[in-house]
Amino acid sequence: MTSVRLVLSGRVQGVGFRAFARRQAAALGVRGTVRNLADGRVEIYAAADAETLERFKERLSSGPSFGRVDAIDETPAPGFEPPAGFGVVY
């Protein structure tokens, strides 16, 4: 299992992006968390096999219908202990 930290920028807050990310993660079996950052970006910690994470990022890049993803910055998150599912952090 691989763990990554994804930071998404664009129009990703106020458009249902966290719920969208949770649905996509559930569909693919990705474990992790999603939260809004104070600077307007969205942060996701995700854990799955490498191929599933690639599919997850592809789905995230399209975003919800009213959103727009301009960039996804990815860094490894080797110490991340994923929860049983995928949750929204408030």
Residue of 18, 22, 31, 41 with catalytic role? 18
What per-residue confidence (pLDDT) applies to 52? 98
Residue 60 belongs to a domain: yes
Residue 9 belongs to a domain: yes
For helices 17-28 and 50-62, the axis angle rounded to 10 degrees is: 150
Residue 88 belongs to a domain: no
What is the number of structural domains in the chain?
A: 1
Residue 76 belongs to a domain: yes
Residue 86 belongs to a domain: no
| pLDDT tens sequence across 58-69 | 999 999 999 999
Q: Quick check: is 36 catalytic? A: yes
Domain that holds residue 33: 2-81
CB 48 within 8 A of CB 33: no
Please report, for the domain that includes residue 22, its CATH number.
3.30.70.100
Residue of 11, 36, 55, 59 with catalytic role? 36
- This prediction has a pTM of 0.96
| pLDDT tens sequence across 2-53 | 999 999 999 999 999 999 999 999 999 999 999 999 999 999 999 999 999 9
Residue 90 belongs to a domain: no
